[in-house]
Amino acid sequence: MFLLSLDEMERVKRVHALRSFVAMEERTHVSERTWRTAFKSRRPTPQVLDALGALGARSSKILIWDEPSSLTGPTLRQQVPA
């Protein structure tokens, strides 16, 4: 599954001197709670991705692939024709 890169999110925060989720909310108009959830769960949402993009996140770095663990239970994979 794709997850948000903590390294890239921290880089964006550092570049803009955003030291808190409140500062991120003020700068991006994305709620503090949404930012907290994004950093904790690392699940990408369109709102967070758009805000990070507006702050200059590198599109090639913001998402990372993480193989789902076999401990999390079975996953369904859809076959996609080539």
Average pLDDT estimate for 3-30: 96
Question: Would you say 51 and 30 are in contact if contact means Cβ atoms under 8 Å apart?
Answer: yes
Q: Is the pLDDT of residue 9 over 70?
A: yes
Query: What residues does each domain of the chain span?
Result: 2-66
Q: What is the 3-state secondary structure (H, E, C) of 29-60?
A: CCCHHHHHHHHHHCCCCHHHHHHHHHCCCCCC
Percent of the chain with pLDDT over 90: 78
Q: Is the pLDDT of residue 2 over 50?
A: yes
Task: Give bridge partners of residue 2 from the DSSP assignment.
Answer: 65
69 Cβ contact list (under 8 Å, min separation 6) = none
Which pLDDT value is given to residue 79? 61
* Mean confidence (pLDDT) of the chain: 88
Kindly report, residue by residue over 47-75, the tens digit of the pLDDT: 999 999 999 999 999 999 988 774 455 55
